[in-house]
Amino acid sequence: MEAQGGADTKTVRRPGSGVRSHKKRVTRQRAKKVVSCQFSVPNSQPSTPNPHAEAEAEACFLQAIEIARRQQAKSLELRTVMSLVRLRQFQTTHPAPRTALAEAHQMLSEVYHWFTEGFDTQDLQEARTLLEELS
């Protein structure tokens, strides 16, 4: 197996299987890293919003969602939309439009209701909990 790519993309070449892009996962992980660096505070004091970091994380999440949709990777889309919802929940505690949270809620509802089974999995249970919190 041969790995190639930069910070935003990662391509893995597997013998006999061609090239497969993992950009959606790497993009989501990058966004989560930005969010964790921005919002984790060692001394448990409230974090100061950083609009640049929030915008970067949101852009990464939206890009990862688009890639997951194009590749019909519903589980990854679900996880990424949940991350976007959590980011937008944080943003609504600061001067941010609540319409962005409503949009993320709608996205989560749509992807959650796409599933017809597996509701005992951690991802779908977390999605249901988030949907209930937002209702």
pLDDT digits (tens, 9 = 90+) for 91-126: 776 655 678 899 999 999 999 999 999 999 999 999
Residues 6 or more apart in contact with residue 60 via CB below 8 angstroms: 27, 28, 30, 31, 34
In the block, tokens 């409230």 appear at: 46
Q: Domain 2-134, CATH 1.10.10 — does that match?
A: no
pTM exceeding the 0.75 threshold for the entire prediction: no
Q: Are residues 108 and 82 in contact, defined by beta-carbon separation less than 8 angstroms? A: yes
- Provide the pLDDT for residue 28: 59
Task: Enumerate the domain spans of the chain.
Answer: 2-134
Q: Are residues 81 and 124 in contact, defined by beta-carbon separation less than 8 angstroms? A: no
Question: What average pLDDT does range 14-37 have in this prediction?
Answer: 53
DSSP secondary structure letter of residue 55 = H
Q: Are residues 28 and 79 in contact, defined by beta-carbon separation less than 8 angstroms? A: yes
pLDDT digits (tens, 9 = 90+) for 44-75: 344 566 778 888 899 999 999 999 999 999 99
Residue 112 to residue 91: CA distance in whole angstroms: 22
